[in-house]
Structure 1
């Protein structure tokens, strides 16, 4: 009996120690989705590009998503994405490679077809798989042709109701019609902010989702809801992960923390680990 009690006690200790030292592991075992976990660098938008990469690297992220209005820092001569010189693109690649990080997408924008061409040229040079964007309707066909030419897809992102044409998944479906290079970037937080059911939204876009933006809120259906750490707010992430598993989703999952701006690395770290646990 004493021996059994000792074994039980040791087991409890081991479980406690394992929980204490739990570390993020991508593409979890046990039937978990083979998704690609990472960070939207917008989470660290108050820091130059290299510092933002350091933050992502410190929490074992594998992928990062850049954004076109990032103030990149002195190493980039005051230029921004996509207007970097070839030498500056080489510098950017070096910063990523040094940390073992991969940048396969960038949040992009354009006011003209020339702007979009510049976006795609940058995407090709740095090796992106897709551009995350909310393109104006008059540019859709031109963007589709550019996407085909440069072999870079477009993931349509949904902002909240009132701030974007693409707040509802139905509008994304409409944009994708007849445009084989258009996909969806599912922003879970903005859907909930707009009063939508994120599981139903995912079902509407099934088979077309290339990436997710993960955030959480302190209220649903409230355009002024505050951003909180993923897993601590009102969004039912277990239900969302169950739906993604049903769809066998294997795309990119970007944590996008829009708050606690100067010291949110631990928040992003928590979110990555939280999603990883749900995916096991």
Structure 2
């Protein structure tokens, strides 16, 4: 009789556990993802700054990421982004404000020295930018953590594909972040898949330290030459990716980065933003 009671009790505990798991799964699927979606202006790199902002606005983006080597056009006297004077920075701010768009970050690549890094930080501080997306050399990790703290900003380490970036695998990003509170991660989902990695597993590796996501899609996985396609139409499993981001309570930036159809990809960006909006509900 005692054994029978014990078995019955174990059965009840098992049922309760299954019900609890079911509730958690259902709650997660209904939970909204509070990310902020926008576009990396590199998507429109063939156009002037004024034209890129017009395209971002037409696509419905409210947030953008600039890039340091942008040919800004005649409005900025041939100057590149980090070398703008105060008058030109005011002009850039005005262009963004008129469209109700915020530039939250700047892709700054890899600074060559302290002077160049300071130039990026100074420009970003004046613009109200919150973090630099970059791929620094290992020797600069401590320098950047210190500079980011001094400027009250953050660093987001970005990954390119295997063979073209030290940071192609998230373990390298983890190494850079260790003991450096101002260094975070920019999760480039497409480049992970290009390199043969599982983006959901990569997100888990970086859990708690992801500040932004670069959203792209590909026509093939584990292929360094895979072509970029509109987000939601390729091989990336975005429902699974979004489920993981919901689990992590991710509330950072998600930038569409459309690297194809260069001369007319605004409709692609708009389609991708609408796709992200549906997924996040």
3-state DSSP of counterpart to 1:82: helix
- The match for 2:64 is 64
Assess if the C-alpha contact under 8 Å between 1:113 and 1:139 holds in 2. no
* Structure 1 vs Structure 2 CA RMSD: 0.8
- The match for 1:233 is 234
CA offset at residue 31 of structure 1? Answer: 3.0
CA offset at residue 141 of structure 1? Answer: 1.1
> TM-score scaled to structure 1, two decimals?
0.88
Alpha-carbon distance in structure 2 between the residues aligned to 1:243 and 1:250: 12
Larger radius of gyration between Structure 1 and Structure 2: 2
Alpha-carbon distance in structure 2 between the residues aligned to 1:81 and 1:134: 18
Alpha-carbon distance in structure 1 between the residues aligned to 2:263 and 2:105: 24
3-state DSSP of counterpart to 1:108: strand
Deviates more, 1:57-66 or 1:251-260: 57-66
Structure with more of its chain in helix, by fraction: 2
CA offset at residue 275 of structure 1? Answer: 1.1
- The match for 1:89 is 89
Q: Which runs of 4+ in 1 moved over 4 A?
A: none
Deviation sequence 1:149-180 (CA, Å, 0-9, x none):
00010000000000010101000000001110
Alpha-carbon distance in structure 1 between the residues aligned to 2:178 and 2:59: 39
Assess if the C-alpha contact under 8 Å between 1:132 and 1:185 holds in 2. yes
- The match for 2:75 is 75
- The match for 2:26 is none
- The match for 1:36 is 36
Assess if the C-alpha contact under 8 Å between 1:89 and 1:126 holds in 2. yes
Deviation sequence 1:241-260 (CA, Å, 0-9, x none):
00001111100000000000
- The match for 2:209 is 208
Deviates more, 1:251-260 or 1:111-120: 111-120
Assess if the C-alpha contact under 8 Å between 2:156 and 2:186 holds in 1. yes
Structure 2 spans left out of the alignment, 5+ residues: 1-29
Q: How many residues align?
A: 251
